[in-house]
Amino acid sequence: MREADCAEFQKTVSEHLVRNRSILDVMTKLQDAATRINRALAKTVTSCGCLSIEAKKQELPEDASFSQVANYVKSHIEGKLCPNCADVIEMELGNAMFYLAATCCLLDLDLKSVLERENDRINTLGVYSLT
C-alpha cells in the first residue's frame, strides 16, 4: 500500500466515524470483525467446500536448522478460495481494517506509522516477533 493510500484510507475512515465514534464501540466492532473473518473462513470449509483443512502435528526433522523450518511447516489448507468466498473474506478483512484504522483515528495514531513499526519489528526480530 502506498503512503498516500494508507493516509487516504485513514482519512476516509475518520470522516465516516459517526455512529461508532466511541472507543468502546470501535473496540467491540473490531472484535466482531475478527469473529466474522473466522466465521467466513469456516464457511469456506463447511458450507462451500472450496477449502478443506487437513491439520495434524507439524513434523520437523531433528537436524533441521531454524532457517529450514519454513520448508517443513504447512498451512493445513487444501484447495483454493472460490470467487464468492474470496469476495466474502475480502469484505470481512476490509471491515476489520476499517475498525483498525478507526482505532488509530480515535487514539490519534497514524496507521501508516503503526504498519511501518510492525514491519520493522518483524524484520528485526524475525519469527521471534510472532510468539
Find all residues with CB under 8 Å of 125, minimum gap 6, and list them. none
Q: Which pLDDT score, from 0 to 100, does residue 12 have?
A: 94
Q: Which pLDDT score, from 0 to 100, does residue 19 have?
A: 76
Task: Give the lowest-confidence range in 52-56, 98-102, 124-128.
Answer: 124-128
**Distance separating alpha carbons of residues 58 and 31, to the nearest angstrom:** 29
pLDDT digits (tens, 9 = 90+) for 23-60: 999 999 999 999 999 999 999 999 999 999 999 998 88
**Distance separating alpha carbons of residues 3 and 115, to the nearest angstrom:** 11
**Distance separating alpha carbons of residues 103 and 18, to the nearest angstrom:** 13
Q: Which pLDDT score, from 0 to 100, does residue 131 have?
A: 53
Contact (Cβ atoms closer than 8 angstroms) between residue 17 and residue 98: no
Q: What does the block give as the cell for 81?
A: 478460495
Helix (H, G, I), strand (E, B) or coil at 57: coil
Q: Which pLDDT score, from 0 to 100, does residue 106 have?
A: 95
Q: Which pLDDT score, from 0 to 100, does residue 31 have?
A: 97
pLDDT digits (tens, 9 = 90+) for 70-97: 888 889 999 999 999 999 999 999 999 9
Q: Could you give all domains of the chain from N- to C-terminal order, each with its CATH number?
A: 3-130 (1.10.287)
Look at residues 26, 47, 122 and name the one whose alpha carbon lies nearest to residue 89: 47
**Distance separating alpha carbons of residues 128 and 37, to the nearest angstrom:** 25
pLDDT at 2 over 70: no
* Cβ count within 10 A of residue 53: 13
**Distance separating alpha carbons of residues 97 and 91, to the nearest angstrom:** 10
pLDDT at 128 over 80: no
CA angle, corner 129, sides to 124 and 131, nearest 5?
A: 165
Q: Which pLDDT score, from 0 to 100, does residue 59 have?
A: 86
